[in-house]
Structure 1
């Protein structure tokens, strides 16, 4: 998802500049893609290293490489540092220094703010959405060299999208999360907040998703597509809001997984074949 959201930001940026991908050197594009891949792999590995003892307690994560003993914790740490370093270096030297800073900020916020909060407060979901929404800003900076309101709209889309996405996961694996000591809005006393968060952030995501047309970086085809996808997302969210069970949670989760890639694909189709 990091690669998709980074590319979304980059592609929207070149649309803003009225340029095409061909105006960028191949090494630049390759470095952008590889930088996003390496950085995300690095953060995932380092997070697994930090949470290895907790991952062992949960069925969902106990078979990951470090908790299962497939690789040692030291090897996981080295791999995570190496991947993160390569990703940051690619951004810094071959793409854009601002993109590298955004990537570094994502790493710090995710590993040292969000990860510790998982066992302290259910607000961790909201906090974690901040680093999770940064990649499109890095992509936008790679294309334009500066942040603008359009970039922050992409940030807002991804921020809002994460809440129903991760709350659906939290419901499906609520027993696992309890074993690991993670604080989530899935207990009986917090179910009202759970429902409210899904409703509010689904509404906000749909609203933010139509703004690219309003600010001139997308057209009417994208607008119609975003509205149709948004309605599907809304009804999937309402299913879990009205009835909390494995089926409704899995429907919402699948909807969230397909939403962003489809939105990006339809945006690219519009820019290349319709406008």
Structure 2
């Protein structure tokens, strides 16, 4: 058994690399036979560093029979984020523009359905104020949920998650929009509308947002948040809340359940990964039952609206096919509990709410407060006519008062 010491020599005519390496290796030679084992010669740093990057990458192929992919990506400088030019788009993303638009639409519907004279200035200020308060609530919501949004496929591209904006930008945007929105509602509409907006802002950011990771009751609380904007519109028009406002709020409250439960059904992996306590994750059976139950409540509320003098009887008939189909899709979701049925229910919910609001507006019973007062006067007179003669009170018309004057008989 003998060993042969070999110095590593490299020579390349093409690249002009030559020279002896200080490294050496031993080759084992056994009993005059040829070399039975070859040691792998590692390239020295002296000449390896002079090869181009592409040559180094290609030389790594087929090592130990493995195909290593070639990385041909070019290095580029990361551009500086231009916040000023994109601030408009970033603000729309912070406000969740589509969700805010839906909130404003329900507030406008509440204003239009209220039995009071229509004032365009107040109507516009109510819509603008509601939109600004909703934008502030959504911005604060994203500020609190950055680490959880990063774990969900649906929310991982939000501006704060991607680092397009800093947290201080979200807080500043929320402070400006909330102060402006509440000021517009208080001074431009009325204090009751501003109070409803402030309460909804605190409820969404301070109670609903942290409860999403604590209890499934967050869905019921979130439905209350969604039912307040139409009440804001009603209060902005009439300055008060009555039975008609409660009917509209009940419709919006119940609509949240089939809408959100169907949406969350296909997002269960994301919600579970982020640690959100949703019905679709913790209790799928309850999720389907609640969605079906509240479609029935919507149908009953629409029928009762005519008896509460909010709409006429035609609304109960015209909205019935729309509500029955909504119930049918919820029933299919309850029975099948698959992605297809949940997707159909969610998509129809986006059509159902605007169509229902439009039907309520067309079949509005009273268009002004004077009509409401006249109706009450007629009802009172009809009730009086039903009373027997013995129980009626007759009020004599007021006439001139004649006073007797004393005459002085002594003068006569």
Fold match by TM threshold 0.5: yes
The question of 1:186 aligning with 2:280 is answered yes
Work out the CA distance in 1 between the residues paired with 2:284 and 2:138. 29
Q: Distance in 2 between matches of 1:9 and 1:212?
A: 14
SS at match of 1:71: coil
**2:318 is aligned with 1:225:** yes
The Cα shift of 1:254 comes to 0.8
Partner of 1:6: 107
Cα RMSD, aligned residues only? 1.6
The residue aligned with 2:134 is 40
2:249 to 155, 158, 182: 155
Which residue, out of 163, 167, 170, partners 2:261? 167
Segments of 5+ residues of structure 1 without an aligned counterpart are none
1:202 aligns with 2:303: no
Partner Cα distance (1:92, 1:81) in 2: 16
- After TM superposition, the score normalised by the length of structure 2 is 0.62
Q: Aligned equivalents of 2:222 and 2:214: distance in 1?
A: 13
The 5 A counterparts of 1:141-152 are 141-152=235-246
1:79-116 Cα shifts (integer Å, max 9, x gaps)? 12211221111100001110010011111111111111
Residue 364 of structure 2 is aligned to residue 263 of structure 1: no
> Unaligned stretches of 5+ in structure 2?
1-101, 366-412
> Partners in 1 of 2:324 and 2:188 — Cα distance?
40
For residues 167 and 33 of structure 1, the distance between their equivalents in structure 2, rounded to whole angstroms, comes to 28
Matched with 2:215 is 121
CA distance in 2, matches of 1:47, 1:197: 25
Instruction: Tell me how far apart the structure 1 counterparts of residues 283 and 149 of structure 2 sit (CA, whole Å).
Output: 24
Aligned to 1:119, the other structure's residue is in SS state coil
Q: Determine which structure has the larger strand proportion and give its number.
A: 2
| Higher RCO (CA < 8 A, seq sep 6+) | 1
- Matched with 1:29 is 123
Q: How many residues align?
A: 264
Contact 2:302 2:315 in 1 (8 A): no
Indicate conservation of the 8 Å contact 1:99/1:142, yes or no: yes
The alignment partner of 2:280 has SS state of: coil
Provide the rounded CA distance (Å) in 2 between the counterparts of 1:47 and 1:209: 33
Moved more, 149-158 or 208-217: 208-217
